[in-house]
Each structure stands twice: as C-alpha cells, then as structure tokens.
Amino acid sequence: MISTVLVANRGEIACRIFRTCRESGIRTVAVHSDADENALHARVADAAVRLPGTASADTYLRGDLIVKAATAAGADAVHPGYGFLSENADFARAVVDAGLTWIGPPPEAIEAMASKTRAKELMGVAPLDHVTEADLPVLVKAAAGGGGRGMRVVRRLADLEAELTAARAEAASAFGDGEVFVEPYVVDGRHVEVQVLADTHGTVWALGTRDCSLQRRHQKVIEEAPAPGLTASLTQDLYEQAVRAARAVDYVGAGTVEFLVADGRARFLEMNTRLQVEHPVTEAVHGVDLVALQLRIAEGHALATDPPRARGHAVEARLYAEDPAAGWAPQTGRLHRLTVPDGIRLDTGYTDGDDIGVHYDPMLAKAVAHAPTRAEAVRRLAGALERAAIHGPVTNRDLLVRSLRHEEFTSARMDTGFYDRHLPELTAPAPDPLAPLAAALADACAAPRSRFGGWRNLPSQPQVKRYAMAGEEHEVRYHHTRTGLAADGVRVVHADAARVVLETGGVQHRFEVSRYGDQVHVNATALIALPRFPDLTTPHAPGSLLAPMPGTVVRVAEGLADGAAVEAGQPLLWLEAMKMQHVIAAPANGTLAELPVTEGQQVEMGALLAVVQEADL
C-alpha cells in the first residue's frame, strides 16, 4: 500500500493529484523551484522540497534531485504528472532503483513510445526521410515531448532548413532532446484520441474517445468526450489500434493514443505514456477518477474485465494567460480573482492573489462541464466562462466563449484548422459600451466624500473620467445630484463601490465592479483607469522593437551588428517566455540602428530589443 506520494511536477496537475491522494488517505510531497516557492501546489502539499533555481533544466527536469527529495521526505511513491519527466524512461528507472513505487508505465514501455519516430515505426507508420515539393505542407515535430513545442508547419521547401533548426533549438530547450522528424501535414483533419488503462494482470481498457481538434500553435485549447460524429466502425478501429499499441509495449497504467482522423480513417500520431491534460472529460463521462485508478494499478490491483460505460458528454476549456489577438502572447502579473459558477469543475494551480510568472506554461486553469447531451454541455460551459470572474492579466476567456458558440463547433464540424480560419472574428473587440460609465460611477461611490455632500445648490460641470478599453480611450461624464449620481441618457438605478445598475431603453443592466490599482473589471470587460492628466513621457524612436512580454533572449541572429542591413520579416532575435520561443523580426527593409541586448539576457515587457531604421523609399 502506498502511504506517501511525491508529485514530480508543479501547478495544476500537482494540485489535482494531491486532491485524489488526500481523498485516499495518502500523504503528499511537493517539489518546487525558487520561482514556485509560494505556488499553490507547494502550499497545499503535506511537505515540500526546494529545487534550487528557476529554469526547468535546473529544477523540474533534474531527476536526480527529485529522487533525493522523495527519499528525504519519506515518500514511497512518485507520480510524474504530465510534461517535464513524465515520459522519461531514465527517470522512471531511477525511481524504481531507489526502491520507490513508480506510478506510471514500465520504463521499457516509455522508452518504446517516448520517441515519436520509434513509436511510428512500431505501429507501421514511417516519417518522411526526404521532403519534396509534392509533400508540402509538412509538419516538423519534436521526437521527445509535446505541447506544441518544437513543432513547425512548413509550406515552402525553402523554409524547411530554417524551421528544422528552430524546432531543434526549441525541443532541446524544452525537453533536453533536439531530435525532430517530418510528417505530412493534414490541414483539415481532426485530432482524436483514445484513453487507455492497463493493469499488471493483462487487462487493457479503451476508455472512450476524446476530440481535441481546437488547437493553437498545435496545443489543445478545447477538448471533449466522446469525440462527436464518429461512426461505430471508425470508433471500433480507434479502440483496436489503441489497445494494440498498449499491448505492443506491455503497457501498464494510464496512457493516451492519439490519431489524426480525416477522410473517414484514423492515422496513428503518437502514444503519450502519461496522464493527459484533458483527462477530466473522460473522468466526467465514465464516472471514474483516473488518478485513483493509477494509484490502484501501481499497488497491483486488477481492473474490472470491462470499462464503465459512457454517460452524457463533457467539454473542457483551457484558460490561458495570453492574448490571442496579439499572436497568443503570454501574459504575466497578479491574478486577483478566479472563480466560476457552481456546477463547473475547475482544475487550477492558482488561487486569488497569486502571481503569474514568466518561467512556465501560461495555463491558468481547466474548466469542465458535464451534461446529458453535447449541446447542453457546450452551452453550460460557454455560459459559465462568460459569467466567470477572471481578474488580472489578459486571458483567452472571450476566445473560448466565442469558440464554444461558433456554429462550426456547435455543429461538430471543427478541425485542426479552426483558428487559422476564424481567429480574426473570434478576437474582434466587443466590450460592453456601458462598462466605462459603470466603472466611473462605482469609483465615485468608493471615493472619500466631503461631509458637506457631493451636490451643489447651482448647476456644476460634470465629473469626467477616462478609461482605456479594447485599445481605445473612452471618456465618461456624470453628475452628483441631490438624489445621487446621474448620467445623460442613462438612468442610474443603483450605484455603490462594487455594484452598479443602469437602465437604458427600459432594460436594466447589472454590473459587478472590481478595481485593483488602475485595473478595473466590469463583469467580463477589462478597463484601465487613465490618469487625469496625460503622460508626457518621451516615446521610443520610430522603428523600435519592444519586448511583447518578459522573457530571456535565447538567440541573436548570426552576424547582426549595429549598421547591418536587414529585410522586412528577417528574424533578429528569439525571445523565450513560458516555454515558447518568439521570433522578433525586422518590421521593414532598413538598417539595424541599435541592438542593446545579448544572448542570455532577461528583459521585462516593453524593454527595447532593437531599433530598425527604415530605408528611404
């Protein structure tokens, strides 16, 4: 019997595993980097062990330190979660060699499936050895790892070498392994996967399908179970291939076999020898706790002969601290509040007041809705996200709501190219036009009042406040009267520091208002309170390239120096933030007038990275 589990991970998945351990009466141990010293997963565990440093390579990817931490804390089992070392066979062996229980598949099974190239060979699918024009478009993928890192779509043969180089660098940084491979890229395919579960007694479950077609940068955004619209014969084929993959490597524990479904057939992609981010939708539909089953299997218990039947439909949305309209740029800062309506499962590694840093993935939480039908589950999740209180950095919440309500998704006709086709319409600003007035009235109620009151015996000039909303400045005016606050064209039904009710056209609109410094949230609309007097700070010179987020300059283009000629779109440097590399390119043909940064330098958001002086036309 397992008594104490160390989770070799962080954030949401560590918190989720701890929850099941507590329910099972098992003690928990967390590991944390210096950046995560006050992170939620480190706070909720029964014990925590520091891994000195901030970079993943120095902390969460150091298997030797994690095994020492488990021994020091008295753990007798290790759960890897997902990502980091979860699919590292050497780490699994080190855990077992230390006399600890490994809550995962045998190291040999991990090894067989860890490399996507070897896994494809095992399943009889060969990657492309030589790419020609006829093969385009193709997809460059990291052989070890996932999450969209080390992955590039190549549509021109001339771009292949550069993209291979970039993918190798990103894969090496994220996984410690720079091996990549090339496969055909199917534009309109669906990403469908099968959850498998296997015990040590020869039983293998195919525990339903999931559809994960809505992806950004090849990383999943919305997932659901079961995958909609599959024929019975195609579903059976998926199950048979998934079970065959598991049996081929004598698999034990929870795993996922992923496929690309197009033209009525399923093409094997890879097997993830770990728990998936999207496992909650399978849990909801089948009424199981996959982590609890992992623990039982690790203790030697047998699965039932047949898996539990599916009931209803579940949909999961990944809430990211990112700006989809700005190239999915990760966002950082204080998360002041995160709540969703009752009836929605929220898996998160954050709580109110936590800081979102630059070192790790920008996923804040996963919201999951379960209902008797797909339509009901989708509607429930969209409504809950719309009403959620998410106060802090910019998130993808609006994108999620619009995606769930898009006709292509509601009719289950989506594919992996969904965001390529619809991103502009899904990210078009649509703020509430009454939000600035509600913010101003709430602020007026919160401000200290004179003991003589706020009204005058004679008419006076209106109060004026300015807000930035959806990239535009909005000026609002209101009056103090004997009966309270008033605004032209709108009846103020109620106003206090946290709640405002306005009536227009005979309809009352209710607003919840929260303020954190100059950041104001009015229902789902975010605003910035602007100063009374404009900021006269001198702007940067024309052609200045500023850091879109905090990060590290991991690479500067070879041969670049002040005075060098550059072309529009030419990569100048690479900025790494939240485990992704972002290319900073020349905005126009011209001359590199300034390059004040060097490789390895950490920069804050808005820092000057380069100045390109545009060539005279």
For the chain, percent helix, then strand, then coil, each to nearest 5? 25, 35, 40
Q: Which residues pair with 52 in a beta bridge?
A: none
Q: What is the mean pLDDT of residues 513-536?
A: 87
pLDDT of 98 higher than 90? yes
Q: How far is CA 67 from CA 55, 190, 315, in A?
A: 18, 39, 36
What is the pLDDT of the chain when averaged over all its residues?
92
**pLDDT value at residue 535:** 54
- Report CA 66 to chain centroid distance, whole Å: 25
CA nearest neighbour of 322 among 394, 274, 378, 215 = 394
Condensed to tens digits (0 to 9), the pLDDT of residues 144-196 reads: 766 667 788 899 999 999 999 988 988 887 777 888 888 888 777 999 999 99
The architecture that CATH gives domain 435-529 is 2-Layer Sandwich (3.30)
**Of 210, 216, 274, 318, catalytic:** 274
CA nearest neighbour of 82 among 248, 294, 284 = 294
Give the β-pairing of 253-262 and 152-154. Answer: unpaired
3-class secondary structure for 348-398? ECCCCCEEECCCCCCEEEEEEEEECCHHHHHHHHHHHHHHCEEECCCCCHH
Given pLDDT bands bounded at 50, 70 and 90, which one contains residue 343? very high
Interatomic CA distance for residues 357 and 13, integer angstroms = 17
Q: Which residue has the higher pLDDT, 546 or 78?
A: 78
**pLDDT value at residue 151:** 84
Burial class (CB in 10 A: 0-12, 13-18, 19+), 514: middle
Class of domain 190-427: alpha beta
**pLDDT value at residue 498:** 97
**pLDDT value at residue 560:** 87
The structure tokens listed for 190 are 């669906």
Query: Where do we find the tokens 């590399």?
Result: 581
Q: Lowest-pLDDT range, 86-95, 355-364, 371-380, 387-396? A: 355-364
Q: Is 274 assigned a catalytic role?
A: yes
Q: Which residue has the higher pLDDT, 139 or 458?
A: 139
Report the SS3 class of residue 344. Answer: coil
**pLDDT value at residue 534:** 56
Condensed to tens digits (0 to 9), the pLDDT of residues 253-294 reads: 999 999 999 989 999 999 999 999 999 999 999 999 999 999
Condensed to tens digits (0 to 9), the pLDDT of residues 381-423 reads: 999 999 999 999 999 999 999 999 999 999 999 999 999 999 9
Given pLDDT bands bounded at 50, 70 and 90, which one contains residue 334? very high
- Domain 114-184 in CATH 3.30.1490.20? The answer is yes
CB atoms within 10 A of CB 209: 25
The structure tokens listed for 127 are 């990657």
Interatomic CA distance for residues 512 and 502, integer angstroms = 12
399, 427 contact by CB (below 8 A): yes
Interatomic CA distance for residues 109 and 249, integer angstroms = 5
> 3.40.50.20, 1.10.510.10, 3.90.950.10, 2.40.420.20: which CATH number matches 4-103?
3.40.50.20
**Crossing angle for the helix pair 89-97 and 107-114, to the nearest 10 degrees:** 170
Task: Output phi, psi for 26, to 5 deg.
Answer: -100, 135
Domain boundaries, the chain: 4-103, 114-184, 190-427, 435-529, 544-614
Q: Which residue has the higher pLDDT, 7 or 330?
A: 7
Condensed to tens digits (0 to 9), the pLDDT of residues 238-253 reads: 999 999 999 999 999 9
Q: Name the DSSP letter for residue 324.
A: G
* The dihedral sign for the CA sequence 410, 412, 413, 418: positive
Which CATH code is given to the segment(s) 544-614? 2.40.50.100
Given pLDDT bands bounded at 50, 70 and 90, which one contains residue 579? low
51, 69 contact by CB (below 8 A): yes
